[in-house]
Every structure is written in C-alpha cells, then in structure tokens.
Chain A
Amino acid sequence: MDDLGFFRELFTGLNRGLLMSIMLIIPSALGGLVIGITAGALRAFGNAAVVRIGDGYAALFRGTPLVVQLFVLYFGLPNVGIYLSPYWAAVTAFVLCSGAYQSEYVRGALLSIKRNQYLGAQALGFTRLQTIFWVIIPQAMRRALPGCGNEIIYLIKYSSLAYIVTFMELTGEGKTIATEYFRFTEVFLVIGFYYLILVSVAKIILRKTEKALEVPGFGSA
C-alpha cells in the first residue's frame, strides 16, 4: 500500500511537472525560432557591423554552458538590481541559447542558396521581396528544418535545467519525490520515459514535416 501511495504521488507530481515543462518548452521554442531566424538572417545578409554583432552573440551563447547562462540570469542579475522569477529566468536563457543555435542553421541555409536562384527570379521580374518570399524562404526553410528541429529536441531535454533554478518542472517534481521516498532508480527511470515520449513525439512530428516538405532531388547538403 505504501507502493500505491508512492506511485499515486509520483504520477500526480510528474504530470503536474510535465505541464510545467511544456509551458517552458513551447514559449522557449517559439522565442528561440524568432530570435534564430532574425539573427540568422542578419548574420547572412547584414552589413559588416551587424554580422559581427550576430556572430558574437552566437559564439558567446554556443561557447558557454547553458547552466552558466541560466545562473547569470537568475543568480547574477540581482547583483545589478534585476530580479527574474525562476520561470522567466529559464525561458529567457532558453530563448537566447536556443536562438543562438537556431541562427546558425538559418544562416547556413540562407547562404547555401545559390546565386542562380536569385538571378532566375530577377530575370522573371520578381521584386526583391517577392524573391525572398517565393524563392528564398521556401528553399532555406527546407534546408534549415532538420537542424532547427533537432535544436528543439535538445531544448526539450535541456528544459530540465530549469529545476536547478528551483522551477518545479518534470525533473524538479521527480527529484523531490525521489528524495522523499529515497527511490531514485524508479523515479528517474520514469522521468526518463516521460522525456523519451516528449522527444520521440517531437521527432515524429519533425520527420513528418520534413517528409511533407520534401522536394525530389533537393538535398540538404
């Protein structure tokens, strides 16, 4: 019966945590994409100064551990009078970090489009904006999709770091129960499977999307 109580508490806790995790992941993924696309486009097409700033941003956030970024935002900023809640500290860190990685894929995708595509569009009388919308974005999107999708899968897993700044998501809820009952193996295996399900679902969606957008002979190279 002790087991029954344990499992009831475990799954109640974990389901609550799962909801919190999803509330972290979705805004962070969307924010990361917006930042990533913006930064990626600026890094691909901006003037020298903009490219430098963009490259610096990406290098900084890709070159340091996410947990350090999180600590700077949550524990560090109060030193200069800025207080972020655990939730907002986590979302901000995830958006900035994820955006840096996303920008790398977006930039790569944009730069991979050959000059003849622009020339072809111009020759047909497309305006600059029309070229971007009808030729460049559809191609770049397909090139960037695998990388960007993978990044979101990473984000799902790294959302567990929010627990370190005391936000009670999946890992945090689990850790509490594990410590209380001193049953680490079972609890963390179950948490592991929660994440596996999230990640597997994300992978399936990603693969379906890639399939749906597939153009014969249009490689990702």
Chain B
Amino acid sequence: MSRSEPILKVENITKSFGTAHILKGVDLELPKGGIKILIGPSGGGKSTLLQCLNCLVTPDSGTIWFNGSVVDIQKSKELYAFRQQVGMIFQDFNLFDHLTALDNIIIALCKVKKKNKQQAKERAMVELEQVGLSDKGHLYPAELSGGQKQRVAIARALAMDPKVLLLDEPTSALDPELVGEVVAVIRSLAQKGMTMIMATHQISLIRNLADEILFMKDGLIAEQGTPRELLGAGVCTLSQGFCDKLNEITGEEI
C-alpha cells in the first residue's frame, strides 16, 4: 500500500459557535502511517478541528472521507462505527472516574466491540503492559498520577484498534516531571507506524516526530510543511517564531 494514500481526509471544515467563527474552511489529508502536528496560538482552532475530525463537535459544513469513502455523519450508526476506528486522546485524560484503569479499557471493548469479558480483560492487560502500567489496573483514576492517567487513556484508545489517533495536547495538563513518560509512549507509537494527528506544544515532539507541521491561526491552516522547511536554520516562518516563544518558556532546545 502506498504511503500517500489518505486514510483520513477532510475538506472545507467550518465551525462557528454563535458569532465566533472557529474554523473557516480547513482541508487536511492524513496518509497511512503519517504524523501531522498542529501548532499555533491557543484559540486558533486546533482543539475544535481535532474534535470535528471524529465529530465530537459537529462541523457546520465539510466532508470527511475515511478509508476512501465519505462518512455520513447524519447516520448515527455510521458515525459510531467511524469513531471506533479513530482513537482520541484528550488533554485532561477524561478517564471514566467511576471505573478502575482496567475497567476503563474493558468497558468500550465489551459494550462497543461486544467482546466477552474475558477477551476484553486479556486485551486490556496487554495494552496496560504496553504503556508500562500492568500493575496499576486495579486503581481508580483518582489514585493515579496525571502521567499514569494519560497512559491509561492511550491504552484505552489503542485497545479499540484505531486506524488513526487524534491527540489533543496530550501533555499540556501534566506536571513537567511527568511529561517524559507520556512522550515516551507516544514516541514508541510513532515507531510502530501509528497514524497520528496531534496538537501539542511539546517542542521535542514537534521537532522529532512530525512528518508535517500545520500552523493554525484564526481558524485556518496558515503554514504547512516539514519540520525542516518550517523550523530549519535561517528560515523565517510563523512556526519558527511560535516555537522560539515556546523555547523561551520551557528552556527546551529545539
């Protein structure tokens, strides 16, 4: 299969809340195995765009193709099936607070994928192991650190065998010392060839993982290119300026 065949493609996505036009017509093509990273100032529409991609926020207009065919988001059955194939990682984790780490992973397998409890549990254990939390399965979200919560959330999404992963600032709500463990998990996903689109302010992720960087501003993609093109030495781009500012804050080397 050629690497350029898009698994997820959207065209002309717009979204307004009242009089605020958050997305003003965004096009996006995500090839299988590709990793795109969204950057840009807050309020630029990154989070809304990601949530439009799996219709957690219903776009006002636009078309979504998945695996070559249009997703009819008016048909709830089709929409639910589509969402199963698109995993999402939230900034504030959104683990189900009334369920243990293990049950957080099991519930969707049982209720959505209709697996039996034993199969679901085995799969969940495998995924917890992958993110290095096989001994924490019995703990409730409130008993986990932020980094552990996010790793459980990743395990939960991966257990559904998604074809694409949407990550909405997965490290932004974490204490600085906990960022590393989550970044490590995301890196290993990238190495295994997971298709991802991620909004992040984490310089190391932007620099090292992205096939392409999308700079979003005022509801539009203002710049788009490889890290080398946008962030290479001597270039003068919006992205470069933005990352320089991030550098000043975090002190991280680009």
Is there direct touching of A and B in the complex, by C-beta distance under 8 Å? no
Residues of B within 8 A of A (CB): none
